[in-house]
């Protein structure tokens, strides 16, 4: 099964993709994570992407569809892919169709995570991760159990994404409204779109997605 999780920044795409990966053995393909890894490694793609990402705008279609194509050539994705943050433009949506059909695969669902954008600014600006293992925390919703200590690995350093400030979040949301939300009708016409309430708690959102994948929604 191949699915897209679609929603604005902070909707919970990454959170739910990680759950699905852990619970169903599907593979999370997050273009945001892949680009951040390229930035960290200082690859030519990372060098090109860094300033664009820091400003909250979208990296070129060519770059992201290229990295998704390379990732889909890896055998682990054959069990099923969760596209997290891709596609984000009409051109990417068309590329994804080609990338999948060239490999004899198809898209099963596009799950739109519906949210209240105002609540998302708090969600995003408050989040931070363990610098060692990447476990996620939040200033308001999920502090480490012991102050300044990761619950998972015991590390004491945490980090925040450079694009998680209020101003950049607003640019990312504007990009979503202008370029990403308009691709929904492309999938609606094919009967692939399902919707979940992203304002529910994380477990409930997960249950709604599970019901769709199990064909019970
Ligand atoms: P990317 O990394 O994809 O960022 P994003 O889409 O802005 O999404 P986020 O990771 O911020 O949010 P999310 O929906 O995954 O939410 P999360 O689960 O973390 O992209 C970053 C940049 O890379 C882009 O701006 C662009 O420059 C570039 N890029 C990436 N892909 C691209 C593409 N295809 N084309 C072009 N450029 C691309 O949750 C957020 C917080 O809320 C967390 O703290 C979480 O714990 C919490 N939370 C989650 N669910 C709930 C809930 N139900 N209730 C309460 N809290 C919740």
The per-residue pLDDT for range 106-143, each reduced to its tens digit, is: 999 999 999 998 889 989 999 999 999 999 999 988 89
What average pLDDT does this structure show over 33-38? 96
> Given pLDDT bands bounded at 50, 70 and 90, which one contains residue 59?
very high
Residues paired with 193 in a beta bridge: 110
The answer, yes or no, to whether any atom of ligand 1 lies below 6 A from the CB of 19, is no
C-alpha distances (whole Å) from 129 to each of 173, 187, 204 are: 22, 33, 23
Among protein residues, the one whose CA lies closest to atom 32 of ligand 1? 31
From the alpha carbon of 84, which atom of ligand 1 is closest? Answer: 3
Q: What is the pLDDT of residues 156-187, one digit of tens each?
A: 999 999 999 999 999 999 999 999 999 999 99
Is 161 part of the annotated catalytic residue set? yes
Region 28-51 average pLDDT: 95
Question: What average pLDDT does the structure give for the chain?
Answer: 95
Give binding residues as ranges: 10-15, 31, 36, 57-59, 85-88, 92, 127, 130, 133, 150, 153, 161, 172, 200
Cα 84 to ligand 1 centre (Å): 8
Q: Is the pLDDT score of 105 beyond 60?
A: yes
Task: Evaluate: CB of 14 within 6 angstroms of ligand 1.
Answer: yes
Q: Is the CB of 193 under 6 A from ligand 1?
A: no
As a whole number, mean pLDDT of residues 72-98 equals 97
Alpha-carbon distance of 128 to 164, in angstroms, equals 9
For the question of residue 170 being annotated catalytic, the response is no
Residues whose CB falls within 8 Å of the CB of residue 45, separated by 6 or more in sequence, listed in order:
35, 38, 63, 67
Cβ–ligand 1 distance for 138 under 6 Å, the answer: yes
Confidence (pTM): 0.94
**217: pLDDT strictly greater than 70:** no
pLDDT of residue 215: 85
Higher pLDDT, 196 or 217: 196
Q: So what's the pLDDT on residue 119?
A: 86
| Token output for 97 | 């169709």
Say yes or no to pLDDT of 8 above 60. yes
What pLDDT is stored for residue 216 in this prediction? 57
């Amino acid at each position: 099964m191949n699915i897209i999780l679609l929603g604005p920044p902070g909707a919970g795409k990454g959170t739910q993709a990680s759950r699905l990966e852990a619970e169903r053995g599907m593979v999370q393909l997050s273009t945001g994570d892949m680009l951040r890894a390229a930035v960290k490694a200082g690859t030519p793609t990372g060098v090109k992407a860094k300033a664009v990402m820091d400003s909250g705008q979208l990296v070129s279609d060519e770059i992201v569809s290229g990295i998704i194509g390379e990732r889909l050539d890896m055998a682990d994705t054959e069990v099923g892919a969760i596209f997290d943050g891709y596609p984000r433009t009409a051109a990417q949506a068309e590329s994804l169709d080609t990338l999948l059909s060239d490999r004899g695969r198809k898209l099963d669902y596009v799950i739109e995570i519906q949210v209240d954008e105002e609540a998302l600014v708090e969600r995003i600006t408050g989040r931070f991760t363990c610098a060692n293992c990447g476990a996620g925390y939040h200033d308001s919703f999920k502090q480490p159990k012991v102050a300044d200590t990761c619950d998972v690995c015991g590390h004491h350093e945490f980090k925040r994404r450079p694009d998680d400030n209020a101003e950049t979040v607003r640019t990312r949301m504007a990009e979503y409204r202008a370029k990403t939300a308009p691709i929904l009708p492309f999938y609606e016409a094919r009967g692939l779109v399902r919707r979940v309430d992203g304002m529910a708690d994380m477990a409930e959102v997960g249950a709604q997605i599970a019901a769709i994948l199990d064909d019970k929604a």
